[in-house]
Amino acid sequence: MKIYQDINAFKGVNNPIVTIGTFDGVHVGHQKIIKRMHEEASRINGETVLLTFYPHPRLVIHPDSKNLKFINTQKRKINLLEKAGIDHLIILPFSREFSKLTSAQFIKEYIVDKINAQKLIIGYDHHFGKNRLGDFSILYDLGKEHNFEVEKIPAQDVENIAVSSTKIRRALNEGKIKVANNLLGYEYSITGKVVPGNKLGRTIGFPTANIEIDDEYKLITANGVYASRVEYEGGVYQGMSNIGVRPTVNHSSLTIEVNIFDFDKEIYGEDISIYFVDRIRDEVKFENMEALKMQLTQDKKTVKELL
């Protein structure tokens, strides 16, 4: 996948099949759009082009939003789009000035003049341009005017739920990790650097890797204990994760930690990825460390059965 931070570097692409959007989740609905792009590119000997924005438009338009969180970091989104087989990824810098472009201006200046799109494929709820006033009917008219095709992909249903990033965020906020994963089409994950903790876990036989993430806008799923998979240096291990404030030891700040099964390496300063499979219980305050140890022993058994 070729990545362009400057759209002026995008040249000489054969029959571009284009889509536009933030693609935060790269979820089942997004994957359907990408699948159609590949089908159309194959039909006309074209190449797939995805145009996205950075920073996320909501961070620019509503900079005071306190609870603005996204399913994936920019790095993870790029990785997912590459796995999906996109040929060209254009990342447009999003600014207040850019946000003032009308729908017609945006299509003419970028989709037509810069990209020379042969076909534009969008999701059922796509809006664009100043105040998000552009919709499918406007795109259809602009396509006729500038000689490119437009196709709208209907909502994708998973277990009778129309897939959207908003619904996935809601599921994650409620700790409904299996619902979120079904809508995503892959396992929600967190990647971070392993940092020293208070090392109490190892005193009861459950050492944990505590991680810090460097993206303040990354959405962290609800507090609780989760069956997880952990990726480290190409290897994948089973584990159980805890997100919360560790009330048994009177901790107050949010901690993300994972007990990795059958793993005994020192990995401080290293990056790991935690993939969340299922939520097994709420975070609970126990009377003492022995009671916590007993519960963790049961949790590990539950997790191993799940995984």
Q: Which amino acid is at 99?
A: S
Q: Is 2-162 a domain of CATH 1.10.287.130?
A: no
Position 90 scores a pLDDT of 98
Position 201 scores a pLDDT of 76
Pick the CATH number of 187-306 from 3.40.50.2000, 3.20.20.140, 2.40.30.30, 2.60.40.10: 2.40.30.30
**Dihedrals phi, psi of 198, to nearest 5 degrees:** -85, -5
d(C-alpha 24, C-alpha 177), whole Å = 17
Per-residue tokens: 96: 């207040």
CA atoms within 13 A on the CB side of 197: 27
Per-residue tokens: 182: 């079904």
Spell out, as residue ranges, where the chain has pLDDT lower than 70. 66, 127-134, 160, 247-252
Position 127 scores a pLDDT of 67
Position 72 scores a pLDDT of 96
Position 144 scores a pLDDT of 94
Position 249 scores a pLDDT of 66
Spans of all domains in the chain: 2-162, 187-306
d(C-alpha 202, C-alpha 204), whole Å = 5
What is this structure's pTM? 0.91
Q: What's the burial of 71, exposed, middle or buried (CB within 10 Å: 0-12/13-18/19+)?
A: buried
